[in-house]
Structure 1
Amino acid sequence: MPANDQPPLWLRPEQGTRGPKPAHSWRDVALAAIRIADAEGLDAVSMRRVAAALGAGTTSLYRYVSKKDEVLELMGDEVQGELRNTALPAGWRDGLRTIARSLREVCLRHLWFANVLAGRAIHGPHSLRWRERTLSAFDGMDLGTDEMLAALGTLSAFVLGHVLGELADGEAARRSGLSHDQWMDREGEYGPMIMDSCAYPRFTRVMIEAELPHAADRQNRGFEAGLDRVPAGIAAHLPA
């Protein structure tokens, strides 16, 4: 098994330097792992499972990657390749909205991806092109690099936070067997006791007046409402 002090994945030759030519590519490894994660979740991805999906032995997979973390890097980079046709409109505010919607869409298409994206940055070719595209939203604004990174980091934190909430709600429904509406109805039985206690006047007002938690499209509406506020907050910290 290769040593842990190998150079970064993206500095190593994809086909290796010794032995016969490998039968597969990094992309083959990534796609096999993505199929497993899409079907069974990220925990199901292992060197053994990926090798089996490729029709190879586990040992032979180490010709391509040295550990599971590198498989995750390949997966994350491959999924970011799905963003390659994202065109940003003129204006940084609309550009950030497009970035956010595109990220949410790909995270909901690959339910494991948000966890990978929230980790350390990936520097594969697709990831670098996407990073370059997102930075282009600020072209012509004469901003410092730290200002741009802070803005994009704020946007990413909002998207990932919202997506993880959506995924957690779906997982809760799967575990409990209750849809969101069924859960709300059950929790509603507790409502009169909360209101009659008079101990939570602000939350009582929310229970009486709020419409969003009951809306069929609450996830989309909540996302768009939050997304309207993110550029406004970023704008408050940009130079005039």
Structure 2
Amino acid sequence: MDDSVIWARPERRARGPKPAHTRAEIAAAGIRVATEEGLEAVTMRRVAAELGTGTTSLYRYVAKKEDIHDLMVDAALGEQPPPPSTGDWRADLTAVAHQMRAGMLRHPWLGTLSVMRPSLGPNSLRWMEFTLSILDGLGLTADEMFIATVTVTTYVLGSAVTELAERSAATTRAQWMAAQGAYGDALATGDRYPVLARIMVEAALPHRENLAESLFVEGLSRVLDGVAGRLGAGA
């Protein structure tokens, strides 16, 4: 088995017959399986069946299941190019964050693989280069640029995972809040948890219809405030 990174191996061997399948086709097959059956269903055998070939034949293209995962992640990241650069670092990072979130919500398995196996495929590298270039020349050290981009990415990932978990729950947030009934009223009017009670009464955000979107936007703004603080007064 070839344990080298798939991106370091040529897609087509120098000799031999023309491959019957491309890496793009393998990635698409893996994505279809993950979308319809879940990420755990993405095995060499299952993807081979999706392609209409034998498992042994699939090993001509990929050495292991993790290679398919890498192809899937890079294909998903390549569905949309990075947004146009505006020259405004905050606007550009905001646009990147929104596109990342959209991709993770479109492909629920993407967040899991992004954490487990950061991809170094061409599309992933293009996104990394674009995101880092947003902060380049703003006076940050290399470590500060790295921390800023990881912080934004981690925030997007956490928000998307939470939203996906709520989407898959049997009970919606509105149903859950309604089910609290008298118990929730007692918490809001009692004096045992005074700060919580005040927030339950005064906070408007939890009652918004588009709560997930609102939380994402407001939270992202505060994350970027933190980045701005590292840039100094001129940010």
In the superposition, the TM-score normalised over structure 2's length comes to 0.92
Aligned counterpart in structure 1 of residue 41 of structure 2, from 34, 40, 44: 44
* 1:51-62 correspondence to structure 2 within 5 Å: 51-62=48-59
Q: CA deviation at 1:204?
A: 1.0
CA contact (8 A) 2:139 2:231 kept: no
Q: Deviations over 1:105-141 (max 9, x none)?
A: 1111111111112233211111111111111212332
1:237 aligns with 2:230: yes
SS at match of 1:34: helix
Q: CA deviation at 1:197?
A: 4.9
Q: CA deviation at 1:17?
A: 5.2
**Equivalent residue, structure 2, for 1:210:** 203
SS at match of 2:116: coil
1:73 aligns with 2:70: yes
> Which amino acid in structure 2 is aligned with residue 43 of structure 1?
E
Number of residues of Structure 1 aligned to a counterpart in Structure 2: 233
Aligned counterpart in structure 1 of residue 149 of structure 2, from 140, 152, 164: 152
**Equivalent residue, structure 2, for 1:112:** 109
Comparing 22-31 with 8-17, which one deviates more in the overlay? 8-17
Aligned counterpart in structure 2 of residue 141 of structure 1, from 127, 138, 143: 138
1:91 aligns with 2:91: no
**Equivalent residue, structure 1, for 2:121:** 124
SS at match of 2:214: helix
Q: CA deviation at 1:212?
A: 1.6
Q: Percent identity?
A: 45
- Find the aligned partners of 1:216 and 1:43 in 2 and give their Cα distance: 33
> Which amino acid in structure 2 is aligned with residue 225 of structure 1?
E
Unmatched runs of 5 consecutive residues or more in structure 2: none
Unmatched runs of 5 consecutive residues or more in structure 1: none
CA contact (8 A) 1:42 1:112 kept: yes
- Find the aligned partners of 2:181 and 2:71 in 1 and give their Cα distance: 45
**Equivalent residue, structure 2, for 1:190:** 183
SS at match of 1:146: helix
CA contact (8 A) 2:82 2:127 kept: no
- Find the aligned partners of 1:7 and 1:105 in 2 and give their Cα distance: 31
Aligned counterpart in structure 2 of residue 35 of structure 1, from 6, 9, 32: 32
CA contact (8 A) 1:88 1:98 kept: no
SS at match of 2:230: coil
Q: CA deviation at 1:23?
A: 0.4
**Equivalent residue, structure 2, for 1:102:** 99
> Which amino acid in structure 1 is aligned with residue 172 of structure 2?
S
- Find the aligned partners of 2:14 and 2:58 in 1 and give their Cα distance: 15
> Which amino acid in structure 2 is aligned with residue 148 of structure 1?
M
- Find the aligned partners of 2:176 and 2:210 in 1 and give their Cα distance: 16
Q: CA deviation at 1:20?
A: 3.1
**Equivalent residue, structure 1, for 2:158:** 161
- Find the aligned partners of 1:40 and 1:189 in 2 and give their Cα distance: 40
Q: CA deviation at 1:235?
A: 1.7
Q: CA deviation at 1:40?
A: 2.4
CA contact (8 A) 2:188 2:197 kept: yes
CA RMSD of superposed structures (Å): 1.8
CA contact (8 A) 1:27 1:78 kept: yes
CA contact (8 A) 1:88 1:99 kept: no
CA contact (8 A) 1:47 1:61 kept: yes
- Find the aligned partners of 2:102 and 2:175 in 1 and give their Cα distance: 26
